[in-house]
Amino acid sequence: MKNHITQKLGFLGLFLCISITLLFLGAIIFFITARGIKVISWEFLTQVPRSGMTAGGIAPAIVGTFYITLGAILFALPLGLACAIYLCEYSPKGIVVNIIRISINNLAGVPSVVFGLFGLAVFVKYFKFGVSILSGSLTLGILVLPLIISSTQEALLAVPQSIREASLSLGATKWKTIKNIVLPTALPGILTGVILSIGRVAGETAPILFTAAAFYTRGFPKSAFSEVMALPYHIYALMTEGAHPDKQRAIAYGCSLVLLLMVLCISGIAIFIRQRQKGLHG
């Protein structure tokens, strides 16, 4: 009988743990939506900021985030794909693979602000790209590389060995097998990883603090070498800089809601697809 009660209490404890965790998800979404929704309008999404960041919209920040994210993915995707293909399809097992694997794991664990410093020293200063979309994209690309590699690897490993062998036995070369059989089969999994990476990059702030972001720019970015406003940085800046904290706070709520919705939708799609794939393949 005593065992039975302990079990009941224990299970209740575990249930409380997951409830509290999900309660926070609910609370964050609820509070930001409830107060942010009042600020959001068509004008808010499509206009440039006016009157010292207290009026107007956040369109340049949305556009800036789009450019930076696009650049980061364009940089990281080919590298990540190549690395995953090498590790899954070509690599002879051994010390080389272990070194690459360990460096991927460690790159994934580097604090985001350290990427920011690296970007500052290398892209902004050494290559003289300045504080720009290009510097920010490259920095974020390096940050997201491990994520792209590991999700691509997972997708490639899910491709059954038998269809590779079937292709090879028909006389196709290794590269032809990869190009025509393995990659198309793994494509949905790879895309899921890319979508997830987009969600991650779009919300990162610390790496672009010193490499790309500006609190205010006149209008929209003109080239890859201009500094940009970005949504996540804009939230931070609105809360810590400027002369009108109260008015800025309202706009920050709007920005947070836009960013939150964007990231939750993007990641939600990826998580949903991934789960369905797992369901299909057992």
Partner 1 sequence: MKRARIKEKIYQGIFTVLAFASLVFLVGIVIVLFKEGLPIFKRVSISQFLFGQNWYPTYSTPEFGILPLILASVWVTLGAVIVCVPLGVGSALYLHELAGHKQRTILKPLVELLASIPSVVYGFFGMVILTPFLQNLFHLPTGLTALNASLILGIMATPTVCSLADDALSYVPKSFREASFAVGANRWQTLTQVVIPAAGSGISTAIILGMSRAIGETMTVLMVSGGAAVIPHSYLEPVRPMTAAIAAEMGEAPMGGDHYHALFAIALVLFLTTFVFNIVAEFISRRFRIKLGLSG
CA–CA distance, 123 with 134 (Å, rounded to integer): 8
Tell me the window of 17-25, 152-160, 185-193, 217-225 that interacts with partner 1 (CB under 8 A).
Answer: 17-25
Residue numbers 34-93 binding partner 1 by CB under 8 A: 78-79, 82-83, 85-87, 89-91
Query: Is residue 218 near partner 1 by the rule CB under 8 A?
Result: no
Residue numbers 105-164 binding partner 1 by CB under 8 A: 105-107, 109-118, 120-122, 125, 142, 145-146, 149
* Residue nearer to partner 1 on the CB measure, 59 or 238: 238
For 121, list phi and psi in degrees, rounded to 5.
-70, -40
The nearest distance, CB 105 to partner 1, in angstroms, is 6
Q: Is 266 helix (H, G, I), strand (E, B) or coil?
A: helix
Q: Residue 68 in contact with residue 135, Cβ under 8 Å? A: no
The nearest distance, CB 63 to partner 1, in angstroms, is 18
* Residue nearer to partner 1 on the CB measure, 24 or 42: 24
Q: Degrees (nearest 5) of the Cα angle 195, 226, 266?
A: 15
* Residue nearer to partner 1 on the CB measure, 46 or 91: 91
Query: Is residue 215 near partner 1 by the rule CB under 8 A?
Result: no
CA–CA distance, 260 with 280 (Å, rounded to integer): 30
Q: Residue 40 in contact with residue 258, Cβ under 8 Å? A: yes
Contacts of residue 269, defined as CB under 8 A and 6 or more positions apart, other chains included, come to 195
Query: Is residue 102 near partner 1 by the rule CB under 8 A?
Result: yes
Interface with partner 1 (CB under 8 A), residue from 72, 190, 202, 229: 202
Query: Is residue 251 near partner 1 by the rule CB under 8 A?
Result: no
Query: Is residue 195 near partner 1 by the rule CB under 8 A?
Result: no
Query: Is residue 263 near partner 1 by the rule CB under 8 A?
Result: yes
Tell me the window of 44-52, 153-161, 182-190, 193-201 that interacts with partner 1 (CB under 8 A).
Answer: 193-201
Residue 228's Cα: distance from chain center in Å? 18
Cα separation values, 166 from 173, 177, 182, Å: 12, 9, 11
* Residue nearer to partner 1 on the CB measure, 59 or 87: 87
Residues in a beta bridge with 49: 56
Q: For the CA atoms of 239, 43, 267, 161, what is the dihedral angle to 10 degrees?
A: -130
# binding residues, partner 1 (CB under 8 A): 90
Q: Residue 219 in contact with residue 60, Cβ under 8 Å? A: yes
Query: Is residue 184 near partner 1 by the rule CB under 8 A?
Result: no
